[in-house]
Amino acid sequence: MKKIVTLSLLSLSLLVATSCNDLIDKEPIDQISASTLFDSEQNAKGAVTSIYRSLESPYYYGQAFMVVPEFAAQHLRHTASYPEYVEYTENRIRIDNVWSLNLWTAMYATINATNLITENVPGMTSVSSENVKLQMIREAKFLRALTYFNLVRSFGDVPLITTPTVSASPESTNVSRTPAAEVYAKIIEDLTDATLLPVAYSTTEETKGRATQYAAKALLAKVYLYLADYARAASYAKDVIENGGYTLTQDYPSIWQTENSSESIFELQFDQQATNPLVGGTTWNGATLFFAQDKTVDLFEPGDIRKNFSIYTTNGKFYVGKYRNYNPATQNLTLIRLSEIYLIYAEAAARANQAAAGEPYTYYKSIRDRAQVGTPAETSFTDLAAFVQAVQEEKRRELIFEGEAWYDYTRTGLALTEMMVVPDAKRYLFPIPQSERNLNTQLSQNSAYQ
């Protein structure tokens, strides 16, 4: 039925690309030593490229990190009532839940790969220029920041590890949890450095598929929103909106039907060598694992064009409609797009200004206009809390099945009344995997699971 990732917390899991000049032509090789990996510029670039590939793992964005939060948000059901999925839906996750372990280990494998870059590239003598070194380091920092952001949102305090680990010695595996505030500080530090990345690369595929200056700024806007630093969140979001060169796609389905759309800011690039596991598990091709919960259709207002595309209905069943390109399953996965930045700006600017009027309302309305639903008049939003909730509800519809709603609703507290079967704020966080705690005696457990 499933396979458990067997990586320990700090184990080395690095896939090295034999061709580092594009994101598609890759031949993974396991367990290359650091001395071989960083003996040439080509190999080092291949190591950076391989980190992007690690995001596509079925235990990370390739499936687990997209579906687990969607179960928690009451958006998905499995074809069978396996406990490991039901536990997320019912907010009673066991400490030995296989998917908590898979998420934890896959993310730390990615982080270890980024740490290999930041540790080894600065001392390389075979790199053609200092700018090439900085490019590799900043891309790694962006990916490390993204992954730590996902970890801290999922588990709270987590070990902050910024140097590579190549052994399972007690000295390297017994690492205590770092307060979330310190993890966030490192995320911001890494992303701030990543804002010095290029705005674009030589092809659209590279520009959308690699870390860029505006991808870093977009992620900073999101991170500052979670930290309730609304002025900074609004500032970064506005910079991306006005200067990033992205445009809101007016044809909503084309975001998923066309690779690397004008709305896409950062997008995972799948291909026939590395197909998208999420697509294979959600489409109506006879092998569906994950269905849309029936009640998801009730989230949409009459006439909302997003409903019939996001939720495909046939034979009395509701399917996830966004991931349709399954023959072959090479559909890309957009991780950051402009519509989310519009809604981040709407909330952050409204909170910073203590008013919804003006631009916050305008950007909120833009998303609804594209969905072809009417928006209450600007003057009707006299209560800030009501506007913030309206923005959250809009973001839930806009980003349904994209792994975001659960984190957004726990951030704002709406999960207590809108999502949770067991309304307990302590259960916003997932349990620290018990098998990791068995290996690492310094890891404490989240309070809801003690």
Compute the average pLDDT of residues 192-207. Answer: 98
pLDDT at 417: 97
Residue 38 exposed, middle or buried by CB count within 10 Å (0-12, 13-18, 19+): buried
Q: Is the per-residue pLDDT at 10 higher than 60?
A: no
Pair (30, 166) in one structural domain: yes
Q: Is the per-residue pLDDT at 176 higher than 60?
A: yes
User: Does some domain include residue 122?
Assistant: yes
Residue after which a domain boundary falls, among 299, 320, 341: 320
Pair (17, 156) in one structural domain: yes
The rounded radius of gyration (Å) of the Cα atoms in the chain is 21
Compute the average pLDDT of residues 273-291. Answer: 90
Residue after which a domain boundary falls, among 303, 320, 337: 320
User: Does some domain include residue 346?
Assistant: no
Compute the average pLDDT of residues 386-405. Answer: 98
Q: What is the DSSP letter of 448?
A: G
Residue 31 exposed, middle or buried by CB count within 10 Å (0-12, 13-18, 19+): exposed
Helix (H, G, I), strand (E, B) or coil at 45: helix
Distances (CA, A) of 208 to 23, 205, 270: 11, 5, 12
Tally of structural domains, the chain: 2
pLDDT at 81: 85
Helix (H, G, I), strand (E, B) or coil at 291: strand
Quick: pLDDT tens for 102-139.
999 999 999 999 999 999 999 999 999 999 999 999 99
Beta carbons within 10 angstroms of residue 196's beta carbon: 11
Pair (34, 146) in one structural domain: yes
> Cα 378 to the chain's mean position, in Å?
32
Q: What is the DSSP letter of 431?
A: P
Q: Supply the mean pLDDT for the chain.
A: 91
Residue 166 exposed, middle or buried by CB count within 10 Å (0-12, 13-18, 19+): middle
User: Does some domain include residue 184?
Assistant: no
Q: Which residues contact 206 (CB under 8 A, 6 or more apart)?
A: 22, 23
Return the higher-pLDDT residue of 174 and 429: 429
Pair (428, 307) in one structural domain: no
pLDDT band with cut points at 50, 70 and 90 for residue 166: low
pLDDT at 45: 96
Q: What is the DSSP letter of 96?
A: T
User: Does some domain include residue 182?
Assistant: no
Q: Which residues contact 280 (CB under 8 A, 6 or more apart)?
A: 287, 326, 329
Contacts of 306-312 spanning 24+ positions with Cβ under 8 A: 306/252, 306/371, 306/397, 306/398, 306/400, 309/252, 309/253, 310/397, 310/400, 310/401, 312/284
Structure tokens at 113: 């790969």
Quick: pLDDT tens for 324-345.
988 899 999 999 999 999 999 9
Quick: pLDDT tens for 11-42.
333 333 333 333 333 333 334 566 778 999 99
User: Does some domain include residue 35?
Assistant: yes
Pair (296, 427) in one structural domain: no
Residue 108 belongs to domain with CATH number: 1.25.40.390
pLDDT at 26: 37
Structure tokens at 373: 């639903």
Residue 96, sorted as left (phi over 0), alpha (psi -120 to 50) or beta, turns out to be alpha
pLDDT at 442: 94
pLDDT at 315: 86
Q: Is the per-residue pLDDT at 62 higher than 60?
A: yes
Determine the residue type at 331.
Q
pLDDT at 172: 56
Q: Among 17-26, 193-202, 441-450, where is mean pLDDT lowest?
A: 17-26
Q: What residues does 178 pair with on adjacent strands? A: 158
Give the number of C-alpha atoms closer than 13 A to the C-alpha of residue 371, restricted to the C-beta side.
24
Helix (H, G, I), strand (E, B) or coil at 427: helix
Give me the domain span that covers residue 127.
1-171+420-450
Quick: pLDDT tens for 294-319.
999 999 999 999 999 999 999 889 99
Pair (10, 158) in one structural domain: yes
Pair (167, 43) in one structural domain: yes
User: Does some domain include residue 159?
Assistant: yes
pLDDT band with cut points at 50, 70 and 90 for residue 287: confident
Closest CA to 186 of 114, 258, 267: 114
Whether residue 340 contacts residue 334, with contact meaning beta carbons closer than 8 Å, is answered with no
Whether residue 368 contacts residue 375, with contact meaning beta carbons closer than 8 Å, is answered with yes
